[in-house]
Structure 1
Amino acid sequence: MFLKIKRIHFIGIGGIGMSGLAELLHNQGFQVTGSDVSEGYQVRQLMESGIRVTVPHDPAIVEGADVVVTSSAIPAENPEVRAAEANRIPVIPRAEMLAELMKMKYGVAIAGAHGKTTTSSITGMILTEGGLDPTLVIGGVLENMGSNTKLGLGDFLVAEADESDGSFLLLSPTIAVVTGIDMEHLDFYQDMEQIKKDFLFFINKVPFYGTSIICMDDDHLVSLLPQIRRNVITYGLSSQADVTARNLVLDGMATHFDLYYKGDAMGSFTINIPGRHMVSNALASIAVALELSIDPQKVRTGLAGFTGVKRRFELKGREAEIPVYDDYAHHPTEIRATLSMMRERFNGRIIVLFQPHRYSRSAHLMEDFGRAFFDADTVIVTDIYPAGERALEGVNGEVMAATMGRYGHKGSCHVPSLEDGAQRAAQEARPGDVIITMGAGSITRAGQMIIEAIRTK
């Protein structure tokens, strides 16, 4: 495989997508090295597995590499990138490496603005239960495995397709799942029409013997259906979907539903992760399984055994009868879905500590963020996590909190730091309330801060 390639170097190896790919290649016998700006959880995990990681970036480390892989967060002026180019070492995006791996398997690529990680994870669980032993490259750590990657011996590779920089168009999967399209990554895309155009191109890259699996609940995707030139299976809560769920019953943190496939009743199924949006994710995975002729009982067992993904409504702990959750939601659509689910399941007040992610996203979607938190009683907004971006004038956490107030939210406020936010959330909470931290940046550290602050107040 890869002919004479022996050593593969990852710049930004600590990213969740990069770390999974690095671990997978390491497990296949390649010499993998990497670098990052800090020694976070994923970096430590890779080091423990035997991968040499340099912190911070060092141009000398690329010497001797046969290829250098970069994430979308790595700028062209990165010193390691420049050193590799000066030494004529190929520098490729992560998606290109994933595309090469996918050529050696039947690829199942999960794309879409929201729900990719959960859908990929459930799909991996069901295919594993069905005896297909897939290789997995997931953008989150599966609770069932304690990892975001698995090297399987079967013929299938399940992976997320990252549309943030258009690199998902490098992939040529046998099965392409699209969970939805939204106004996102507007630092790269000009408008919704460009986003839809790229997704349509991705869907139509499926080979003639493959299948596209499309969410019927998404109006943007429905508008593309007449232009799709490949076999299509639709899924969703819409009665018009090929794979749909009826008679949803909430049962604590679980949801039971009756499954229908092209009008035929398939029996009762259970997902032990709360939320209607999670049922939709499950339906996408079920559609993949049915397309691959996996026995419905295996599908049922695999779905019921799925215990979640870290940072997707993850319970961090409980103190003084106050549960503290952490969630990756960082887009208004995701925030509304998570808070709506919480409002259905909790009787107490909902307190949110939110860290906006990226100045570009905050600027483009400021008004939407202002209307996204109505199901929360209190919203504490921190300063924006830049993710490598430069600050934009007039775009900050204080403005976002004020925007929420302008739209009528009576409990929004701003604090500068995670530490201040954790203290504020702890002081605000009383027994019976529920606290959730939200965002895609460093906010995940705040859950334990809140628990400690409640314990000592």
Structure 2
Amino acid sequence: MGKHVYLIGICGTAMASLAGMLKQQGYEVTGSDVAAYPPMSDLLRELGITVHEPYAERNLDRRPDLVIVGNAISRGNVELERVMDERIPFTSMASVLHDEFLVSRQPLVVAGTHGKTTTTSMLAWIFETAAQNNPEFAPSFLIGGVAENFGTSFRVRPTMPFILEGDEYDTAFFDKGPKFLHYFPDSAILTHVEFDHADIYADLEAVKTAFKRFVNLVPRRGRLVAYDASENVTECVAKAFCKVERYGLREDSYWRISDLRHEGTSTRWTLWRAGERFAELTLPLAGEYNALNATAAAALSSGQGVSVEAIAKALATFHSVKRRLEVKAVTEGVTIIDDFAHHPTAIRETLRALRESRPRQRLIAVLEPRSNTLRRNVFEGSLVDSLALADRVVIAGVFKSESIPTAERLDPGHVVQGLLSRGISAAVYQDADAIVAALAPELRSGDVVVILSNGGFGGIYQKLPRAITEAAVATRVAMQFS
């Protein structure tokens, strides 16, 4: 691989992380994107990596030795067209990751429709904690978000464990298979299997086929830790050649959660292994789903030789991931939370966690239909069920709606009507500015606003706190003169 590597679509979570890893290995790294937003734009800036915005042929005037093409890049992109015309060598993120970092290490891969990022972060932190007593456990990792315990989404070390998030999304315009098929795990976690990524998977059967192929990559000597309350997961692991350990809340779970207790923003439970008490665990995060994620991480790390003490210590000191129930601001008594949830199941679990941790506060959900699946109407009914856990719901217009055929496009109005029929206050506003203008004046101290989006959402994270302050000041001034 050449010394100058250029990444088209560098601000994607995995691409930005790979850029940092390559720079850490001594490569000169530059790249481009249509628009950069935190947290990955902050990471690239801190790493001193030049990012060109927007895409332009001139960005490649200084010819790189190799171009890595992000999976969001398709034919017609002006930079990709120049790369192909001039026969500049190009490849995919997943291929470079495998060839440069995984072949000489022990990949431990976390896959599943939901919970990948948080579970990967937990697993990495458990190994990091274990390394305090045994340096051989010190992990390399690649996470689809910024893990707050590390302050980064990646780290590369010479030791064997390499913990990474296995994404089922496609690899590149020239490789439509899932990225995780490039990772060849020694052992793995499978959290959930549900229909998602409607732009690349025709139906649930296609999704299950991808996960079955992933399971088939785990060697006989490896282990597979798999969620036990999903028929889809059961089907996907049925023909595994390795040992399979199921986890969950069922009485017959190999790794069983019992006595689950929610204490404010913390969660406690007893974990059993094969019918014997394994540990009493505490996690400073709310939500049953986070206890399940932590249990999966504990199970896999225990099988790799990590002590019970290190597992318990790591989970008790875990600080979550950026954009996962992240408190962005507390303004005039209003708490504003950012969450990456963009699938009805993830949205439901996020709202459940907030209900459990803040039971007496009014909960307002603000949703941007932005992902390739959520912009489609396949989940209209499920969205109503999930969002009905909030006291008030505000939905933005569909992101880049013109790119989705009308017959396939989500109609936010249908979701709102479904919520109204259940007695839930709900409304649609076209964009972030309209939402801020409508919502800020009605918010009051004690409210919790959770913003659900997998993108920048028009800067709402900065605009809403500012508008709340302005509305409160205006109210106080009006009261002085009334």
TM range (shorter): over 0.9
Q: Does residue 191 of structure 1 match 2:203?
A: yes
Task: Tell me by how many angstroms 1:406 deviates.
Answer: 6.5
Q: What does 1:6-405 align with in structure 2 at a 5 Å threshold?
A: 6-41=3-38, 42-62=40-60, 63-100=62-99, 101-131=101-131, 132-165=137-170, 166-346=178-358, 347-358=360-371, 360-361=373-374, 362-386=376-400, 390-393=403-406, 395-396=409-410, 398-405=412-419
Contact 2:69/2:92 (<8 A) preserved: yes
* SS state at 1:372 partner: helix
Deviations 1:214-252 (A, max 9, x none): 111222112333322222122222222222221111111
Contact 1:359/1:384 (<8 A) preserved: no
Deviations 1:132-174 (A, max 9, x none): 1111111111112221111223211111111022222222111
Contact 2:110/2:165 (<8 A) preserved: yes
* SS state at 1:436 partner: strand
Distance 2:254 2:337 in 1: 34
Contact 2:188/2:300 (<8 A) preserved: no
* SS state at 1:371 partner: helix
Q: TM (normalized to structure 1)? A: 0.94
Distance 1:209 1:96 in 2: 24
- Percent identical residues: 28
Contact 1:369/1:400 (<8 A) preserved: no
Distance 1:198 1:417 in 2: 35
Task: Tell me by how many angstroms 1:342 deviates.
Answer: 1.6
Task: Tell me by how many angstroms 1:444 deviates.
Answer: 8.1
Report the number of matched residues: 453
Q: Does residue 443 of structure 1 match 2:448?
A: no
The amino acid of 2:124's aligned partner reads: G
Contact 1:385/1:441 (<8 A) preserved: no
CA 1:406–1:319: 2 relative to 1, 3 Å: closer
5+ unaligned residues in a row in structure 1: which ranges? Answer: none
Task: Tell me by how many angstroms 1:322 deviates.
Answer: 2.0
* SS state at 2:323 partner: coil
* SS state at 1:424 partner: helix
Distance 2:339 2:442 in 1: 20
Distance 2:372 2:130 in 1: 43
Contact 1:370/1:407 (<8 A) preserved: no
Aligned-residue RMSD, C-alpha: 1.9
Which shows bigger deviation, 29-38 or 274-283?
29-38
Distance 2:321 2:378 in 1: 28
Task: Tell me by how many angstroms 1:330 deviates.
Answer: 0.9
* SS state at 1:449 partner: helix
CA 1:416–1:294: 2 relative to 1, 3 Å: same
Task: Tell me by how many angstroms 1:316 deviates.
Answer: 1.0
5+ unaligned residues in a row in structure 2: which ranges? Answer: 132-136, 171-177, 472-482
Contact 1:216/1:236 (<8 A) preserved: yes
Contact 2:197/2:372 (<8 A) preserved: no
CA 1:363–1:454: 2 relative to 1, 3 Å: same
Contact 1:9/1:34 (<8 A) preserved: yes
Distance 2:241 2:280 in 1: 33
Distance 1:54 1:302 in 2: 39
Contact 1:385/1:442 (<8 A) preserved: no
The amino acid of 2:46's aligned partner reads: E
Task: Tell me by how many angstroms 1:7 deviates.
Answer: 2.1
* SS state at 1:235 partner: strand
Task: Tell me by how many angstroms 1:25 deviates.
Answer: 1.1
Distance 1:230 1:160 in 2: 20
Task: Tell me by how many angstroms 1:371 deviates.
Answer: 2.2
